[in-house]
Amino acid sequence: MVPLPLLLYRAGILAALPVAAPWLLLTARLRGKSRPSVASRLWWHPPPLPRQGVWIHAVSVGEVGVARPLLQELRQRFPHLPLVLSATTATGLATAAGAQLADAVVPLPLDLPGPVRRSLDAAQPRAVVLVETELWPELLHACGQRNLPVVLANARISDRSFAGYRRCRRLLAPLLRPLTLALAQSEEDARRLVAIGVSEEKVRVAGNIKFDATPPREHPAVAKAIREAALARPIVVAGSTMPGEEELVLSAVQQLPHTPPPFLLLAPRHPERAERVAELVAQRGLRCRLRSRLAPGEGEVDVVVGDTVGELAAL
């Protein structure tokens, strides 16, 4: 039987979709975000997937990084267990594919009955793992209907999310019943999970998986090219920047009382914004190169803008 809160959720989704879809596409474009195609997330034509494995969902680049040690541990302990890794953003999918830790990398289905059903039919997983706070009502319900264990790994509830979740606890609690286990980052996160409707006996404090991660593979050639471009100047790194933050970083660096001025490595959170950020840098009269176009031994550069994925943490 479909719970009333899920029926209300479905009605809200269907009512909002005609307005929300164009708005989300527009804001994603303005913010430089790249998302998988709607067709791929509808799962009309599911890709061939290994079955009877574990499906792990990590929304974007950061969460894929969190999932990395979990995937490595599963691979080491159960070498023959198929692993499917999904993400919501294009950069998350690119990072997931580049990690080469899963047998398949796919976009998360839209949280609608049809796409969710088709994706689970294609993978037929033994269990589903959701990284951090990926609480999708339709997906949770479908897993519950199939008696699939659902684990919320590295779970956290931010101040902002907690305020919203707590206001609709009566509606949210039935949607969270399919959760089998919630592994919270901290005691406070565990308390908040219980407060929004997760059964207390399902919540455990397991710490932050990020601290279990091994350092990423080094990129000595990239590091050498950046050091050579810096020409012994101090290097300032601004990573995962959002629109509006690059201007603040550039202003701050240009005001630093240091001669010569520091070299800046500027990495926007969404690499598809790199060209736009490079134009911003050039407008400041600074010499700029995109990371992918930085030649070894190249001098006469003030700022390098990152347009690649997965390199910054390895430098």
Nearest to 131 by CA among 75, 77, 57, 202: 57
Tell me which long-range contacts 12-18 makes (C-beta under 8 A, separation of at least 24).
13/111, 13/112
Neighbours of 104 (CB within 10 A): 19
Distance CA 169, CA 148 (A): 24
- Residues catalogued as catalytic: 63
Q: With H, G, I as helix, E, B as strand and everything else as coil, classify residue 49.
A: coil
Instruction: List Cα–Cα distances, 14 to 8, 58, 201, 207, in angstroms.
Output: 10, 25, 34, 38
Instruction: Report which secondary-structure segment, H or E, holds 75.
Output: helix 61-77
Assigned token pair, 181:
């286990």
Give me the DSSP letters along 106-165: EEPPPSSHHHHHHHHHHH--SEEEEESS---HHHHHHHHHTT--EEEEEE---HHHHHHH
DSSP 268: E
Neighbours of 100 (CB within 10 A): 9
